A and B are shown apart, each in its own frame.
Chain A
Amino acid sequence: MSNEIEETMKRIQSHKGVVGTIVVNSEGIPIKSTLDNTTTVQYSGLISSLADKARSVVRDLDPSNDLTFLRIRSKKHEIMVAPDKEFILIVIQNPTE
């Protein structure tokens, strides 16, 4: 079964413009990553806290609501965050021009 995970991760990683893919657990500890350790740790810490904050914003505005996707567009990259109850999938992509 793990090869399906590998397949999915590989597919995402090989998508056009994708710089890196990280899977983080709810505590902010990276589980799987295609980037080097330092960057991974950096991203996981920052992004998971941001995702938590975003989720709390959504829920505070409407308690029956929940965060489903988070997209951060910057000048250089786009960071796409797919949060879940226990894990977070982070993908960094260069926007195609």
Chain B
Amino acid sequence: MFSVKMKPAMSDRKAELERKKAKLQALREEKDRRKREKEMKDVEEAANRVESGSDKRDLDEMLRSLGVAPVPDVLSSLSTVNSLTPDQSINYTPDTSLQPNSLHNNVAQVKKKQPVLTVVPVQTTNIQPQEVVVYTRQTQTTASGHERDGIFGSSILSKCYMEDWWRPRKDEYNLNPGLEWEDEFTVLTYDDPQGEDEESSLPHLGGFGSKLPPGILPHGLPQVKEVQPAVTAVEQEQAKQEVKEVRELSEEEKQMIILSEDFQRFVDRAGRVMERALGETVDIYADYSGLGGDEGLDEKSHQRISFNRWFYDERWSKNRCVTSLDWSLQYPELLLSSYNNNDESPNDPDGVALIWNTKYKKTTPEYVFHCQSPVMNAKFARFHPNLVLGGTYSGQIVLWDNRVQKRTPIQRTPLSASAHTHPVYCMHVVGTQNAHNLISISTDGRLCSWSLEMLSQPQETMELQRSQSRSVAVTCLDFPHSDVNNFVVGSEEGAAFSACRHGAKVGVTDTYDGHQGPITGISVNAVQGGIDFSHMFLTSSIDWTIKLWSLKDTKPIYTFEDNGDYVLDVAWSPTHPALFAAVDGGGRLDLWNLNQDTEVPAAGLTVDGNPALNRVSWTPSGLHVTVGDNTGKIWVYDVAENFAHPRHDEWNKFLYTTQELRSNQVDEELEKLNLGISNTPLTSMSSISSSPLR
């Protein structure tokens, strides 16, 4: 209903008409918009596009403004037109009035046109949101110990990461094992360093989301982005596979490696070196300016014997009696000790031989050898630095080699009547480098001479018998220095014998009776230089005495009766002609210097705990004396140098001493004879109370 008034009505009507048209248009637009939105989804996948002139151009302009190449991404005719109009109606409101016309025109045009279907190539683009800032200057930094070195899985925990969170990091946590180039890095904004769990970072193909460290929110905020040069997916996969494979191999083959020969040898060698290195705990930062300088203690010069160290192994020498001590010729710091069986652990091997190193502070043996029978005597094969010989209780002689990994003997002599059937207490290697033999004597008096190359059969055997078929039960043996033929033995009957291996009279030559109990130790004076005293030898016995003999006399020159217990071993010093050491069952170690005093030892001490000391031995330098006791401990004592070292006149003095001793001996015997017989006068050289009764 229009109220009609000519002039104002016309304008009113026009305005109203326009308003209504606009309203209608708006309604229609809304309807179309909804329709369009529905169709938009379908249209996105449509292949046919129809370009429409100026509208398309505007769209292109819009798209261009976004930086995307103009794409003929045109919706289907109807929806395109529909979509254009709302957009443009939103953006270009002044044109709204024009739109219906064009819209109608277009629609009309489109409706008139038959849809011509043509195949048009389509390009799609994904417009990604604005990306995170990339600081390319970081790629100039050098890599530091990266995957390049082939060390996979090295994770460096650095809590200082948080300080520079904005810096793009090298792949420190190995989150992307596929990164092949040092320039590659992943940009993180949150650092939850849980990525060091390499085993869980399994390679994922595609889908960057799996590589996100936890804590990265995948929405809106800057995301992880890999900056990679052209690495194809295949290469990535291979690289990841390689990483995975190496690690798996090592886990599976670890046990294999551990059991391999190489590994064992390595551990043996490196372990030995490492133990020595561990033992040397010298503090190189010792500062003497601040400290008082406590070097003044232990004035060893006035103390003739002082304790140095002991050798003891919990595993191998505990509860075993030390049965022999020997020193290596080639390596004077190596000490060989052999042990009896351990009563308390019957499952352990009965016989043990250990090589100790006196040069280092290491408290464990260099080498451990064992065998099934208690080792009564062990010697270094003098001319073979790697071989160790042991004489056992069963009569077998065993050979160990420190070059092989085995701790058991590599060779054994046969247990047959051709060899020994009784315990072998005595062994000695005699001869020279090219012609040497092992001499072994068992307690049934049998002496066997062996060649070290062939231990299956002795080269020669001999029975030591005293006076017509009475075998000698030999307990100890000694050769004079560099003598291969003549030797002295001590026996269980309390007599010592001298014998020879070759020559006119093979076998026992002389008998030296005197002791009242089995002889435990025998030692021939072996000092080189000066006067030769190799005819002098000492014997120690269960009868609490030590006797000094000369090979030329069947009667002892002197008897040392200072001990209060079984004397279990005696040993001359290798450097001092008048010095010898003796040990007894009460834990006493005595050093006798015959030039100073023959009645009492010049120095002595009692070992801690009073163990029975079974063996005594001097180091080749003559400056240390070692004793082995019955609990398996070896004690090393330093001997004061002025005491151990002979002066020039020691030899002469000793000669004089021995002469004196001898004459005293003769005197005593003469006195005895005199008292006993009391009628036969005998002129004596220096008799004091002899009455010239002729």
Task: Encode contact with A along B269-288: 1 for CB under 8 Å, 0 otherwise.
Answer: 11101110111010110000
B315: chain A residues at CB < 8 Å are 7
The answer, among A41, A49, A93, for a CB contact under 8 Å with B278, is A93
Task: Encode contact with A along B231-273: 1 for CB under 8 Å, 0 otherwise.
Answer: 0000000000000001100100010011100111011111101
User: Is the Cβ of A9 less than 8 Å from the Cβ of B271?
Assistant: yes
User: Is the Cβ of A1 less than 8 Å from the Cβ of B145?
Assistant: no
Beyond A9-B267, A11-B364, A31-B258, whether A69 also contacts B151 by CB under 8 A is no
User: Is the Cβ of A15 less than 8 Å from the Cβ of B275?
Assistant: yes
Instruction: Give min CB distance, A47 to chain B, whole Å.
Output: 11
Beyond A25-B257, A29-B250, whether A82 also contacts B270 by CB under 8 A is yes
Beyond A25-B257, A38-B155, whether A45 also contacts B145 by CB under 8 A is yes
Judged by a CB distance under 8 angstroms, whether B606 is at the interface is no
Judged by a CB distance under 8 angstroms, whether A18 is at the interface is yes
The answer, among A1, A12, A46, for a CB contact under 8 Å with B259, is A1
B258: chain A residues at CB < 8 Å are 2, 5, 31-32
Beyond A27-B150, A31-B254, A42-B155, whether A5 also contacts B274 by CB under 8 A is no
Instruction: Give min CB distance, B366 to chain A, whole Å.
Output: 12
Task: Encode contact with B along A1-29: 1 for CB under 8 Å, 0 otherwise.
Answer: 11011011101100111100001010111
Task: Encode contact with B along A56-97: 1 for CB under 8 Å, 0 otherwise.
Answer: 000000000000010101000000101010110101010111
User: Is the Cβ of A4 less than 8 Å from the Cβ of B264?
Assistant: yes
The answer, among B277, B405, B407, for a CB contact under 8 Å with A69, is B277
B270: chain A residues at CB < 8 Å are 82, 84, 87, 89
Beyond A28-B150, A41-B153, whether A89 also contacts B277 by CB under 8 A is no
Beyond A49-B145, A86-B262, A86-B266, whether A91 also contacts B154 by CB under 8 A is no
- The answer for the CA separation of A84 and B263 in the assembled complex, in Å, is 10
B269: chain A residues at CB < 8 Å are 84
Judged by a CB distance under 8 angstroms, whether B157 is at the interface is yes
Instruction: Give min CB distance, B620 to chain A, whole Å.
Output: 28
A11: chain B residues at CB < 8 Å are 271, 275, 364
Q: Return the chain B residue nearest A88 by Cβ.
A: B270
B263: chain A residues at CB < 8 Å are 5, 31, 87
A28: chain B residues at CB < 8 Å are 149-151
A9: chain B residues at CB < 8 Å are 267, 271
Instruction: Give min CB distance, B360 to chain A, whole Å.
Output: 13
Most buried by A among B153, B259, B278: B278
Task: Encode contact with A along B345-389: 1 for CB under 8 Å, 0 otherwise.
Answer: 000000000000000000010000000000000000000000000
Most buried by A among B268, B277, B364: B277
Beyond A12-B271, A28-B150, A86-B262, whether A18 also contacts B196 by CB under 8 A is no
Q: Return the chain A residue nearest B157 by Cβ.
A: A38
User: Is the Cβ of B264 less than 8 Å from the Cβ of A1?
Assistant: yes
B277: chain A residues at CB < 8 Å are 69, 71, 80, 82, 91
Beyond A12-B278, A69-B277, A80-B278, whether A89 also contacts B154 by CB under 8 A is no
User: Is the Cβ of A27 less than 8 Å from the Cβ of B246?
Assistant: yes
User: Is the Cβ of A29 less than 8 Å from the Cβ of B246?
Assistant: yes
A25: chain B residues at CB < 8 Å are 250, 257
- The answer for the CA separation of A44 and B274 in the assembled complex, in Å, is 17
Most buried by B among A28, A48, A71: A28
User: Is the Cβ of A38 less than 8 Å from the Cβ of B278?
Assistant: no
- The answer for the CA separation of A17 and B264 in the assembled complex, in Å, is 25
B364: chain A residues at CB < 8 Å are 11
User: Is the Cβ of A82 less than 8 Å from the Cβ of B264?
Assistant: no
Instruction: Give min CB distance, B440 to chain A, whole Å.
Output: 30
- The answer for the CA separation of A19 and B268 in the assembled complex, in Å, is 20
The answer, among A12, A42, A80, A84, for a CB contact under 8 Å with B154, is A42
Beyond A5-B258, A71-B277, whether A23 also contacts B267 by CB under 8 A is yes
A48: chain B residues at CB < 8 Å are 151
User: Is the Cβ of B154 less than 8 Å from the Cβ of A41?
Assistant: yes
Q: Return the chain A residue nearest B279 by Cβ.
A: A15
A86: chain B residues at CB < 8 Å are 262, 266
Instruction: Give min CB distance, B279 to chain A, whole Å.
Output: 8
User: Is the Cβ of A91 less than 8 Å from the Cβ of B278?
Assistant: yes
B284: chain A residues at CB < 8 Å are 73
B153: chain A residues at CB < 8 Å are 41, 45
B250: chain A residues at CB < 8 Å are 25, 29, 31
The 10 A-B residue pairs with the shortest CB-CB distance in the complex, in nearest-first order: A45-B154, A8-B271, A82-B270, A89-B270, A29-B250, A45-B151, A28-B151, A87-B266, A15-B278, A5-B267
User: What is the interface of chain B, defined by CB distance below 8 A to chain A?
Assistant: 145, 149-151, 153-157, 196, 246-247, 250, 254, 257-259, 262-264, 266-271, 273-275, 277-279, 281, 283-284, 315, 364, 405, 407
User: What is the interface of chain A, defined by CB distance below 8 A to chain B?
Assistant: 1-2, 4-5, 7-9, 11-12, 15-18, 23, 25, 27-29, 31-32, 38, 41-42, 44-46, 48-49, 69, 71, 73, 80, 82, 84, 86-87, 89, 91, 93, 95-97
CB<8 Å pairs between A and B, sample of 22: A1-B264, A4-B264, A8-B268, A8-B271, A11-B364, A15-B278, A25-B250, A27-B246, A28-B150, A28-B151, A29-B246, A31-B257, A31-B263, A41-B154, A41-B155, A49-B151, A73-B284, A82-B270, A82-B273, A82-B274, A84-B266, A91-B277
